[in-house]
Amino acid sequence: MSDFYYEAYFDPELAKQFTLVRLTVLELLALGYSNNNMALECEVGIKAIEHHITQMAVLYEARADLHNLRTRLLAHLYFHDLMTLKSPVSSLDISHFNSKIMDTLKLLVIGLSLKSTAAILGISVKAVEYRIGHLYDFFNVDTDNTINENCRVVLWAAIILRTVIAKPELKKMYYDTSIEKIPRIVENPDLFLLRLRGFDGKIG
């Protein structure tokens, strides 16, 4: 298991939008549960879990080929202040990260897919996976425990909790990577990358 504990809190308004089952799936998803563990907790099949996640992500205008449905769904809740994560762990210093790792970290936080990240950065999917592997190691996310954990979600939460992320700037980048805008960014990524690199990911 990954080496840090955290809790997720949701805006009560979500109870008006989702069924109890979907709220439970959402909570377990935010805590990094794998589909298998969510299915066991909710006493439904894995396909039902996948359906719930997909439907909630689509509601918030995520698309599987452009976004990672799980982290994009969580990013929407986080950037709209509908979800708060809390943990007793201390922040980690990421000032030594080079621009390549920082680019990847920011695009991961706003919920882009490997394919979109690679296309925007002008690199291969394997290169993106390599960079994310570096982040897994740095944040000590257990990638060998996929039966119990969704390591990409756990990494997402670790970045939110263990770095001083400049939330307003990342929120703007979240809006700029909608279904309609990503294809245009891929065609001409220069301006987007200038803005992405215009802040260091930290406050101050």
The CA distance from 111 to 19, in Å, is 24
Domain residues of the chain, as ranges?
Answer: 7-196
DSSP string, 9-76: EE-GGGGGTS-HHHHHHHHHHHTTB-HHHHHHHHTS-HHHHHHHHHHHHHHTT--TTTB-HHHHHHHH
Residue 204 pLDDT exceeds 80:
no
Digit-coded pLDDT (tens) for 102-136: 999 999 999 999 999 999 999 999 999 999 999 99
Task: Tell me what the mean pLDDT of segment 38-43 comes to.
Answer: 96
Predicted local confidence at residue 98, as pLDDT: 94
Query: Hey, what are 176's tokens?
Result: 């700029």
Q: Please report which confidence band the pLDDT of residue 203 belongs to, taking 50, 70 and 90 as the band edges.
A: very low
Task: Tell me what the mean pLDDT of segment 30-39 comes to.
Answer: 96
Predicted local confidence at residue 73, as pLDDT: 97
